[in-house]
Amino acid sequence: MPKVIVTGASGFLGKNICNYLTDYELIKVYNNTKIEDGWVCDLTNKSAVKMLIEKSNPDVISHCAADPSPKHPEDYEQFIKNHILSTVNLLENCKPGTKFIYISSVLVFGNCFPVMEPTNLYGACKLSCEHICEAY
């Protein structure tokens, strides 16, 4: 049975992906210590991500973890760090042959579909991470 890491497993998309993948061994990843049926992992921590991937040895990583928006202006730095570093850390630690699925957002288009022109920081971070995935 293939193993799939699902980051952001407590979010809307993560939950639905987990519910859909009934024929897979799921490794649900959260950033919330109140969750009991998966891994708690700070995806911005390179060594924590490395340990997660080494111990679980996934065939697929479905990266759904994201913050929809910073709560306060002083949170922008952490907001950007969460998006970019979590994606880079996962990609850096993927073993050869691991499939990587990055869940993005329609907000990368802003009001200009199909041209990618985000109108907010969330959309810009998602688009940046899409480009980072392409680089890997």
Residues whose CB falls within 8 Å of the CB of residue 32, separated by 6 or more in sequence, listed in order: 10, 40
- The pLDDT averaged over each successive group of 10 residues in the chain (136 residues) is 94 91 94 76 95 96 87 81 94 96 83 79 89 95
Q: Residue 65's CB: how many other CB atoms inside 10 A?
A: 24
Query: Residue 63: left if φ>0, alpha if ψ -120 to 50, beta else—which one?
Result: beta
Q: Give which of 100, 104, 103, 82 is closest to 92, Cα–Cα.
A: 100
Q: Residue 49 has what pLDDT?
A: 97
Give the global pTM: 0.90
Residues whose CB falls within 8 Å of the CB of residue 120, separated by 6 or more in sequence, listed in order: 69, 107, 110
Residue 92's H or E segment, with its range, is helix 76-93
